[in-house]
Amino acid sequence: MKRVWALFLTPLLAVSLVFCGGCAILEEALEAGAFDSDNPNSEDYRPRFVVGIFSIVNFPRASDLEKPIRDLDGKEIYINTNQHFSSKNIKDVKIVVRPGNPELCDLKFKLDRLGKIQWQLLAGRYREEQVAFVIDGKLLSRFVPELPEDENAKWVFLRVGIDHFHAKNIVKFAKKNYIFFNPDSGNFFKTF
């Protein structure tokens, strides 16, 4: 009788071990984003390297609109949570290697129509003040926004001085993020 139970329990134990081990592997894959789509029109797409530009609060008043954020040096600064500019208006990005310091990259953004207006407001308001350049909720840089020389220019220049890794990934995901944040309204009425 013990032998029959052993024959019955051995395969059951083996299957349960495989299943439990498989769950851990599946859980790791889900956490790592292995099943995220690269198609920005997909429900599974997750935007990455999302740009946000926020004003810096020099004298925080513990308002709900202010939040602390750490810069790369570990110092804590406060930003206004109402962002002035985001990936929603960036159609494309180019890297500009900083002359005299090839370790740092500046960026050029190609903006949509609303983005141009937002950039003009941002650059006009913060003409001589630094703003926070935030990627996925992390402060990468502070810079002073500049108005383009030609008001009809399609590209704006950001003297942000970031590393190559972040610059390349901002370029890589800019178009996909733009499509994700600006879905084609014709897709809303398609039937499946």
pLDDT digits (tens), the chain, 192 positions: 555 555 555 565 555 545 555 555 444 444 444 446 787 777 788 999 999 999 999 888 777 888 999 877 788 889 998 999 999 999 999 999 999 999 999 999 999 999 999 999 999 999 999 999 999 989 999 999 999 888 778 899 999 999 999 999 999 999 999 999 998 766 555 544
Same-domain check for residues 56 and 150: yes
- Between the two ends of the chain, the Cα-to-Cα distance in Å is 57
- Residue 41, in any domain of the structure: no
Same-domain check for residues 95 and 6: no
Query: Radius of gyration over alpha carbons of the chain, in Å?
Result: 24
Same-domain check for residues 89 and 22: no
Cβ atoms < 10 Å from Cβ of 91: 16
- DSSP secondary structure letter of residue 158: E
Same-domain check for residues 28 and 119: no
Q: List the domain range (segments joined by +) for residue 96.
A: 51-186
- Residue 78, in any domain of the structure: yes
CA dist 7 to 2, 17, 20, Å?
9, 16, 21
| 147 touches 192 (CB < 8 A) | no
Q: What span, in angstroms and rounded, lies between the C-alpha atoms of 87 and 85? A: 7
Same-domain check for residues 116 and 160: yes
Same-domain check for residues 55 and 145: yes
| Structural domain total, the chain | 2
